[in-house]
Copies of this chain bind each other. A is one copy, B any other.
Amino acid sequence: MRKISESTVRRLCGYLRLLEEFQRLGKTTVSSDELAVRGHTTPAQVRKDLSFFGSFGKRGLGYDVLDLTDRLRDIMGLNKTYRVTLIGAGKIGSALVQYRGFSERGFEVVSVYDNDESKVGDSWDSVTVRQVRDLEADLTAEPIHIAVLAIPASVAQEILDRLVKLGVKAVLNFAPTPLSHPSDVTVQNVNMAVELETLSYALRNCRDPDSR
């Protein structure tokens, strides 16, 4: 299949969320126009995004809500449960593990690691915090699909290297530093500082934030 751009993939996630909303509202059919208005994009964009994967609509009618939901879930690989491990038992990690959207969408946190002995052994929901030095032994015994890095920038590369050696192919990185990794490993970066600074830039350049 042709290479799909990251923006398309991210929009597909959005359509999925909107479809679930339309479903709750009792709609059985939806047009590219309705998806576009609700999702702040254009009908052409919606149709183009979907067309990369096939023809899911009916001309003159639109898309069947349930059918399109299923197909998108399939395209996104969301019809299975993913085993997730969290590295770093700090505040961000804690908030993430407790986040319901996580498990609701099939992402199950099966283990938490930290190198701080005072945290090791703590019980988090149903999982116990383990020593990060046991990573190799544990992940070899019970492989995981996705690793979440909620650790300081200074140790992120080292941990990522170890995860890559263990065969992990998908990583969600909260450490504010660019990480090197083989091209068959996907690393998604989430960086709060970048989001805030983007807002700072917007305030700075569109209007003096103190001028109102």
Interface mask (A38-50 → B, CB under 8 Å = 1, otherwise 0): 1110000000000
Q: Chain B residues with Cβ under 8 A from A172's Cβ?
A: 195-196, 199
Query: Are A201 and B76 in touch, CB under 8 angstroms?
Result: yes
Chain B residues with Cβ under 8 A from A76's Cβ? 197, 200-201, 204
Q: Which residues of B contact A107 (CB under 8 A)?
A: 196
- In the complex, are the beta carbons of A205 and B1 less than 8 A apart? yes
B91–A14 touching, CB < 8 Å: no
- Chain B's closest residue to A199 (CB) is B170
Q: Per a CB cutoff under 8 Å, which of B9, B95, B197, B207 touches A201?
A: B9
Interface range on chain A: under 10, 10 to 19, 20 to 34, or 35 or more? 35 or more
Given A178-B14, A178-B40, A190-B190, A77-B205 contact (CB < 8 Å):
yes
What mask results when residues 165 to 189 of chain A are scored 1 for a CB within 8 Å of chain B, else 0? 0010111100011101000101010
A selection of 27 A-B contacts at a CB cut-off of 8 Å is A6-B198, A9-B197, A13-B194, A13-B198, A16-B197, A17-B177, A21-B177, A40-B178, A76-B201, A77-B201, A77-B203, A77-B204, A78-B197, A82-B203, A91-B95, A92-B95, A92-B99, A107-B196, A143-B212, A146-B203, A169-B206, A170-B200, A171-B199, A172-B196, A190-B190, A190-B192, A190-B195
